[in-house]
Amino acid sequence: MHRVASSGNTSGSSRPRREKRLTYVLNDADATKHCAGINCLAVLKSSAADEFDSLFTGSRDGTLKRWSLSEDGPSCSATFESHVDWVNDAVLAGGNTLVSCSSDTTVKVWDSLSDGTCIKTLHQHSDYVTCLASANKESNTIASAGLGGEVFIWDIEAALTPTTKSSDTTKDDGTNGINGSASTLPLTTLRPVGSSNNISLHTPQPQGYVPTAAKGHKESVYALAMNESGTLLVSGGTEKVVRVWDPRTGSKTMKLRGHSDNIRVLLLDSTGRFCLSGSSDSMIRLWDLGQQRCLHSYAVHTDSVWALASTPTFSHVYSGGRDRSLYLTDLATRESVLLCTKDNPISQLAMHDDGIWVATTDSSVHKWPAEVRNPQKVFERGGSFLAGNLSFSRARVSLEGSAPVPIYQEPSYSILGTPGIVQHEILNNRRHVLTKDSAGTVKLWEITKGIVIKNYGEVSFEKTKEELLEMVSIPAWFTVDTRLGSLSVHLETPQCFSAEIYSVDLNISGKPEDDKVNIARETLKGLLAHWLMKRKQKSGSSALANGDMPSGKDISSRTLPLSRTEVDGNAENDSLVYPPFEFSVAFPPSIMTEGSHGGPWRKKITDLDGSKDEKDFPSWVLDCVLNNRLPARENTKCSFYLLPFEGSSVQILTQGKLSAPRILRVHKVVNYVIEKMVLDKPLDSISSDGAFSAGLTDGSLRSGLKPWQKIKPSIEIFCNNQLLSPDMSLATIRTYIWKKSDDLVLNYRIAK
């Protein structure tokens, strides 16, 4: 799977270090709504009578949100933004602490009652962190596990204790205005977690907190559960067994077999004696941990079971999964009833008062009646069936057309999300991206401004793409993915600096006709305009004048060798942002990147307060926006031959091969031909190596000459016997007309 903001090689590697990339995430919808599937839920009961309960949701869009559950309906009261990939699970711990885990390999600790403050980032996992478990909402003990087979038990209070620079396990986000951390050792100093079955504690780094490691899993872990007292932990995953641990020591106490496929969800009763497990084999199993055996198997679902929740007495279980159905089952009598069906697979459940919140792979969350206090009321409505003990029994009933009818048709409350983007196409101009969301709406984005420039509605994506096809060739200076349900635009050096465009094509006023701008550079200036302004305000113009901030020489020597960098001579070394690169303030994009310390971070561009130093950004980004210095670029030139059109009587003007910028237009080649023909003498606009000189490649003719359109004779330029438009660039001609790897051949003649 795709990893966001991956770091480069370690300093000890002999291979070239890979520069960290910068990603910005676009949105055009209500920031209070999720735009991708909901992976996790957590309910916080209010401590005061005049306060409302809160629901926390974690999404594949990379954010968590807090919803105030008032009598008038849920409302978003905070967004927690710091993860750079899917949020996979979230639990509440002591002291109003919210803990989340993500596919970005981190566990993050938040103040649940804040406006979204990340207190600490815990770096211990080597792969996606898939699940969390907590003892109870007053305990500081939590467990985390993931695809690396690692299971860690954390004391959150100890993990939050300030550490010195020698700690490599925890990163303090609270001191950083961007989302960085205190300087720490590289993550590569962590001792790898093996697959030994012996109990093992990580050797603590000097003065740094290290969690307890429960070793035993050889494969991915998908599910965790802990009893209320924190004395028992269960885990399961692709090994198809339930492992039982003592979280206080990390020791493994037993292993339970019975499932025939991946274990996806686990649930313990308050005492820790009974355990429920849900699996991809579609079965729910009830285990007696004291007897170390399976008491019952329940064939309720027709597909993988992903979510379980029980009544307070552990007498009934609510279950959901890939079959999009929510069931209630009496664990003693095996009687089951279908509560509701959804349009998408059910990912997690959370009990709240007498109802149940249901999260799905859709961006919305719904609360359904559940009669939690007296579940027998549901069975009195009829429509129940007896759960079998073989996985195929429910599937067979479904195929026979006797599937149960859901008790409820509509939810009690709904928290609606926005449709996520499911399809995209980068257009040839490399500034527009066409998207289609899960509701079928097609939109056209301008990524250098972060806005939707046209909403086509529910139309054919393929037909619209064809209608927008342009015969233009621009280097691929960015990549895009929609993993988070929105457009994530990735910039990597030096590739992102490969595209240039004439200012006139962007309607930038006050610039010469042949002024060029580097698209990535101007985009970065637009993205970081707020940060640059805040940084300037905080440092003060006098501090900058006195050299308190790093000079261009200082930063360039720290980032890229001088031989591999070049100063962008055409661009002004200031923070001026051209209109085509002004990003929306109403829907500001979020930046995801990684600096020289602290790990990956994410924040809206309007929330960057400039309070921290440059170590939070990749060095090449700073080189660009602060010092106007770009890495050396390749493939910016196009070689070509300029020959008379076959059968034409015009003279031969050049000998040998010419070269010019890829974006050079045909009308500038016409200028060159006319000048040669009219003046009929060697020009200083051709360099000794046969390349177009700066004067002519920029389209300027020597003083006294008229514009090319008014000069006679009129010249036509051909390629492959096809007459070329004056606005075509050399790159476009090579891509769409020449279509060969050989050097381009252009032919000229006097227009008939």
What's the pLDDT tens digit per position in 182-231? 333 333 333 333 333 333 333 333 457 899 999 999 999 999 999 999 99
Q: Which residues pair with 479 in a beta bridge?
A: 490
The pLDDT, as a whole number, for residue 696 is 42
Which tokens belong to 143? 């467990």
More confident residue, 634 or 239: 239
User: Measured in whole angstroms, how far is the alpha carbon of residue 545 from the centre of its chain?
Assistant: 38
- For tokens 């954010």, what's the residue? 63
Sheet hosting strand 233-237, strand order edge to edge: 221-226, 233-237, 241-246, 251-257
Confidence bin at 17 (pLDDT 50/70/90): low
Q: What is the Cα–Cα distance from 269 to 450, expressed in whole angstroms?
A: 48
HSE value, Cβ hemisphere, 13 Å, CA-based, for 346: 32
CA distances from 393 to 194, 388, 390 (A): 40, 6, 6
Is the model's pLDDT at 617 over the cut of 60? yes
Length of the chain: 752
Q: What is the Cα–Cα distance from 620 to 626, expressed in whole angstroms?
A: 10
pLDDT digits (tens, 9 = 90+) for 666-676: 999 998 888 88
Most confidently predicted of 306-310, 387-391, 504-508, 512-516: 306-310
For 250-267, what is the mean pLDDT? 95
Q: Where in the chain is the domain with CATH 2.130.10.10?
A: 33-190+202-216
3-state secondary structure of 519: helix
- Count CB-CB contacts under 10 A for residue 530: 19
Q: Are strands 293-298 and 284-288 parallel, antiparallel or unpaired?
A: antiparallel
Q: Where in the chain is the domain with CATH 3.10.20.90?
A: 637-750
Is the model's pLDDT at 712 over the cut of 90? no
Eight-class DSSP state of 686? B
Counting DSSP H helices and E strands in the chain, the numbers are 12, 49
Contact 154, 248 (CB under 8 A): no
pLDDT digits (tens, 9 = 90+) for 472-503: 999 999 999 999 999 999 999 999 999 999 88
For 408-428, what is the mean pLDDT? 95
CA distances from 340 to 245, 346, 369 (A): 35, 11, 10
The pLDDT, as a whole number, for residue 106 is 95
The pLDDT, as a whole number, for residue 397 is 62
pLDDT digits (tens, 9 = 90+) for 295-314: 999 999 999 999 999 999 99
For domain 637-750, the question of CATH label 3.20.20.70 is answered with no
Eight-class DSSP state of 738? I
Is the model's pLDDT at 405 over the cut of 70? yes
Eight-class DSSP state of 530? H
Sheet hosting strand 413-415, strand order edge to edge: 346-352, 355-360, 365-369, 413-415
Q: What CATH number labels 33-190+202-216?
A: 2.130.10.10
For 133-148, what is the mean pLDDT? 91
Confidence bin at 538 (pLDDT 50/70/90): confident
Which tokens belong to 293? 């055996």
Name the nearest CA neighbour of 328 among 300, 297, 352, 288.
Answer: 300
